[in-house]
A and B are shown apart, each in its own frame.
Chain A
Amino acid sequence: MKTRPPSPLALELRGLVKRFDRPAVDGLDLCVKRGEFYALVGPNGAGKTTTLRMVAGLLKPDAGSISIAGIDALRDPVAAKRLMAWISDEPMIYDKLTPFEYLEFVAGLWRVDATVAETRARELLGWLGLSPHAHERCEGFSKGMRQKVALAGALVHEPTVIILDEPLTGLDAGSARQVKGVLGERVRAGGTVIMTTHILEVAERLADRIGIIASGRLIAEGTLEELRGQVGKSDFTLEDTFLALVAKDGAKEAAAA
Chain B
Amino acid sequence: MSAPATLAWFAAHELRLVWRDWFSMMTAGKRKSLRAAALALLAFVAFMHFMALLALRNVTDPGLNPDKTTLVVVTGSALLAWSLMISQAMESVTRAFYTRADLDLILSSPIAARKVFAVRILTMALGTVVMAALLAGPFIHVLAIRHGPHWLAAYGVVVSMGAAAAALAVALTVLLFRTIGPKRTRLIAQIVAAVIGAAFVIGLQVAAILSQGTISRFAFLTSEAVVARAPDAGSIVWWPARAMLGDIDALAAVAAVCFSLLAAAILFFSARFGEHAIAAAGVDQGRGRQARAAAFRGASPRQALRRKEWTLLRRDLWLVSQTLMQILYLLPPALLLWRSYGDGSGLFVVLTPVLVMSAGQLAGGLAWLAISGEDAPDLVATAPVPAGFLVRAKVEGVLGAVAIVFAPLLAAIALVAPLQAAVAAGGMAIAVIAATMIQLWFRNQAKRSQFRRRHTSSRVATFAEAFSSIAWAATAALAASESSLALAPAAIGILVLLVAREISPRKG
Contacts and interface: CB of A to CB of B under 8 A. Distances in A.
B296 A106 contact: no
B298 A94 contact: no
B378 A136 contact: no
B381 to A, nearest CB: 6
Contact of B297 (A81, A88, A104, A135): A104
A96 B316 contact: yes
B284 A139 contact: yes
A78 B384 contact: yes
B308 interface: yes
Interface in A98-148: 98, 100-101, 103-111, 113-115, 117-118, 121, 133-141
B382 A137 contact: no
Contact of B295 (A85, A118, A138): A118
A85 B298 CA distance: 20
A139 B292 CA distance: 16
Given A57-B382, A82-B384, A92 B304 contact: no
Contacts of A110: 301, 383-384
Interface string A9-43: 00000000000000000000000000000000000
A153 interface: yes
Contacts of B315: 96, 137
B499 to A, nearest CB: 29
A136 B296 contact: no
Contacts of A103: 296
A79 B297 CA distance: 24
B376 A81 contact: no
Given A94-B375, A137-B315, A139-B288, A58 B296 contact: no
B378 A56 contact: yes
Contact of B384 (A79, A100, A105, A139): A79
Given A58-B378, A94-B312, A135 B287 contact: no
B385 interface: yes
B376 A107 contact: no
Given A96-B315, A96-B316, A97-B312, A58 B379 contact: no
A109 B309 CA distance: 13
B311 to A, nearest CB: 7
A136 B288 contact: yes
A106 B293 CA distance: 17
A96 B296 CA distance: 17
Contacts of A239: none
Interface string A140-166: 110000000010010000000000000
A135 B379 contact: no
A153 B375 CA distance: 15
B380 A118 contact: no
Given A58-B382, A78-B386, A92-B375, A97 B311 contact: yes
B376 A108 contact: no
A107 B305 CA distance: 11
Interface string B115-155: 00000000000000000000000000000000000000000
Contacts of A78: 384-386
Interface in B55-96: none
B235 interface: no
B292 A135 contact: yes
A36 B494 CA distance: 56
Contact of B375 (A85, A95, A118): A95
Interface string B278-310: 000000111111111101111111011101100
A199 B497 CA distance: 51
Contacts of A242: none
A140 B384 CA distance: 30
A96 B311 CA distance: 8
B418 interface: no
Contacts of A56: 378, 382
A109 B293 contact: no
Nearest to B283: A140
B381 A57 contact: yes
Contacts of B378: 56, 58, 86, 88, 92
A84 interface: yes
Interface string A175-204: 000000000000000000000000000000
A93 interface: yes
A138 B287 CA distance: 9
Interface in B225-252: none
B69 to A, nearest CB: 51
A117 to B, nearest CB: 6
Nearest to A58: B381
Given A135-B290, A135-B293, A108 B382 contact: no
A80 to B, nearest CB: 8
Given A81-B384, A82-B384, A108 B291 contact: no
Scoring B290, B304, B379 by chain A CB atoms within 10 A of each residue's CB, the highest score goes to B379
Given A93-B375, A111-B301, A100 B293 contact: yes
Interface in A48-89: 56-58, 78-79, 81-82, 84-86, 88
Given A94-B308, A109-B385, 9 more contacts: A93-B379, A94-B375, A98-B291, A105-B307, A109-B301, A135-B291, A137-B290, A137-B291, A137-B315
Rank and list the top 8 A-B pairs by shortest CB-CB distance, nearest first.
A108-B304, A137-B288, A114-B298, A118-B296, A82-B384, A108-B299, A109-B383, A81-B384
Interface of B: 284-293, 295-301, 303-305, 307-308, 311-312, 315-316, 375-386
20 contacts: A58-B378, A78-B385, A78-B386, A81-B383, A81-B384, A86-B379, A94-B308, A104-B296, A105-B308, A107-B296, A107-B304, A108-B301, A109-B301, A114-B295, A114-B298, A118-B295, A135-B293, A138-B288, A140-B288, A153-B379
